[in-house]
Amino acid sequence: MNHWLKLSLPLALSGALISGCTTMDAFTGENQISGTSKGALAGGLLGAVIGAATAPKADRAKRALIGAGIGGVAGGGVGFYMDNQEKQLREELVGTGVQVRRTEAGQIDLIMPGNITFDVSSAAVQASFKPTLASVARVLSEYDDTLVTISGHTDSSGSNEYNQLLSEQRASAVANIILESGIVFERVAAVGYGENQPIADNGTANGRAENRRVEITLDAIVAD
């Protein structure tokens, strides 16, 4: 498939969904999205981001630059840009239980333990955690030259198939809240890793608790 065709597919998807879900307002004569179609539209956008994390980062960045209409960070200013974003995230997330880490590659990782994000075996974000995600989204709105990758992880309890599905559903649930805040979908990707990327020993209760998590990884989008 042609590279530019692949790049345009998520944009074409959103356009097709919108055109297929509009109705005519009898009073204003204007097209509008019907209430019954909003769920299908949201589902379609999530379909465009689930699994997108497996695409090359350069392709995702180009898609965001074109589709989201952003300029990107000048190469020499990336460190300063990420430093400021990290500082603001740390301020917003004090006392929430979310860990903010800076990687050697310059990324920002937000590590969200399972005990504060989801109930056991549930993919519904806890109501008490939604304000925390809203705080994250506020920062992401300000720092809009940032790629957002959401990954779901489980412990090794249960079957591989169950854990994989649960991790995907949890990543999707977090992505949905981020998208609902107004973050453009070209910047967002989500993926589930099931039990395949543990950060602690699954042989202990504490280790399993650490492995049940959602992570948000932030990368600067660098201008050409």
Sheet containing strand 188-192, strands side by side:
99-102, 108-113, 213-220, 146-153, 188-192
Kindly state the average pLDDT of the residues 213-220. 97
DSSP 122-149: --SBPGGGHHHHHHHHHHHHHS-SEEEE
Q: Which residues of 66-100 are buried (b: 16+ CB within 10 A; e: fewer)?
A: ebbebebbeeeebeebbeebbeebeebbeebebeb
Pick the more confident residue, 86 or 44.
86
The stretch 28-35 carries a mean pLDDT of 36
Give per-residue pLDDT as tens, 9-24: 333 333 333 333 333 3
User: What is the model's pLDDT at position 195?
Assistant: 97
| pLDDT at site 100 | 98
| Mean pLDDT along residues 196-224 | 95
> How far is residue 57's CA from residue 149's CA, in Å, rounded to a whole number?
10
Alpha carbon distance 201, 211 (integer Å): 8
Distance CA 195, CA 180 (A): 28
CA distance 109 to 205: 24
pLDDT at residue 45, as a whole number: 66
Quote the pTM value: 0.80
Task: Report how far residue 190's alpha carbon sits from residue 171's, in angstroms, rounded to the nearest whole number.
Answer: 6
Tell me what pLDDT residue 158 has.
Answer: 92
Q: Which candidate, 188, 194, 192, 198, places its Cα nearest to that of 219?
A: 188
Contact between 136 and 93 under an 8 Å Cβ cutoff? The reply is: yes
Percentage of residues in the chain with pLDDT exceeding 70? 80
* Residues of the chain above pLDDT 90, percent: 72
**Residues 63-94: pLDDT tens digits?**
999 999 999 999 899 999 999 999 999 999 99
Which region among 34-38, 48-52, 69-73, 84-88 has the lowest average model confidence (pLDDT)?
34-38
- At 10 the pLDDT is 38
From CA 111, how far away is CA 20, in angstroms rounded?
Answer: 38
pLDDT of residue 44: 60
Q: Are 167 and 193 in contact (CB under 8 A)?
A: yes
